[in-house]
Amino acid sequence: MILRRFSGHASERWKVARLAMIARVMRYFIWITGTLIALRQIGIDLSNIAMVGSALAVGLGFGLQNIVSNFVSGVIILLDRSLKAGDFIELESGIRGNVREIAMRYTRVCTNDSLDILVPNSEFINGRVTNWTHDNAYRRMHIPFGIAYGTPKEKVAQAAAAAARKINGIISDHPMEPQTWLVSYGDNAVNYELVVWADHQLTTAPAAAHARLMWALDDKLQAAGIEIPFPQRDLHFKSGAVKVELQKRRAASSENA
């Protein structure tokens, strides 16, 4: 039911954006057509205007190339339904945020820091775009953490699951319930990942969601008495080698004296 409701809202947003784009195109078409009819009515020869217009079009074509490209890209975006207002996206340039408006020349993206960025439409066509909410309201998140060697795995999994349950928006129903993965054996720790499915609200604020999960995970691990190790190195000296080195240094000091 949640997915159906989300899909319905997304479809309505796409319809509104498409109608707005069609209205803009029709307005420009009517304006140009009306201007040509008015010029003909007052006796101006449109053939001469067409010749001059063709020459100007060639000259302006190079200067307006980017504008035309962005306009066409905007039409393509709306027609292929790859992007719509309300989507949370990440561009190849690193821009990440919610799509607020798809205009003729640009798309307005609002970041989680409330910054409005006007992105040329051609960037969505020519570059890679990650749409986190295209047709799914949920996203899987991976939270890596390290635990001291010798800690029971079941104890770690219980603490991690308890941390996930503290965060509103983390899905707990099968098959999306939180999981604890043992990933690798590191130099100083056994490396795990807390793997959870986040709802739309957490998906659109990934940095904040990651921070909240890390905070809750640290609380639960400490409460369970589970050690989070820090990087360390063990140095082993052979007694004979150290003794010879010390004797050499003493001999050198005596000679210098």
Burial class from Cβ neighbours inside 10 Å (0-12, 13-18, 19+) for residue 166 reads middle
**Contacts with 1 (C-beta within 8 Å, 6 or more apart), sequence order:** none
Query: Residue 155: what pLDDT?
Result: 97
CATH 2.30.30.60 residue ranges of the chain are 2-131
- Cis check for the bond before 175: say yes or no (omega within 30 of 0): yes
**CATH for 139-223 (3.30.70.100, 3.40.50.720, 3.10.105.10, 3.30.365.10):** 3.30.70.100
Q: What is the pLDDT of residues 195-204, one digit of tens each?
A: 999 998 999 9
Q: What is the pLDDT of residues 230-240, one digit of tens each?
A: 887 767 666 55
Q: How confident is the model at residue 165 (pLDDT cuts 50, 70, 90)?
A: very high
Q: Rounded to whole angstroms, how far apart are CA atoms 98 and 3?
A: 19
- The tokens of 158 are what? 């219980």
Residue ranges with strand state E in the chain? 88-91, 96-102, 106-110, 116-120, 129-131, 139-147, 179-185, 190-198
Q: What is the pLDDT of residues 177-217, one digit of tens each?
A: 999 999 999 989 999 999 999 998 999 999 999 999 999 99
Mean pLDDT of all residues in 32-47: 71
Q: How confident is the model at residue 51 (pLDDT cuts 50, 70, 90)?
A: low
CATH 3.30.70.100 residue ranges of the chain are 139-223
Cβ proximity of 124 and 83 under 8 Å: yes
Cβ proximity of 116 and 98 under 8 Å: no
Q: Is the pLDDT of residue 80 over 90?
A: no
* Residue 1 three-state SS: coil
**CATH for 2-131 (2.30.30.60, 3.30.1360.20, 3.90.79.10, 1.10.10.10):** 2.30.30.60
Q: State the CB neighbour count (10 A cutoff) for residue 89.
A: 20
CA 54 from chain center: how many Å? 44
Q: Rounded to whole angstroms, how far apart are CA atoms 28 and 25?
A: 5
pTM: 0.65
Lowest model confidence (mean pLDDT) among 2-16, 83-97, 161-175: 2-16
Mean pLDDT of the chain: 81
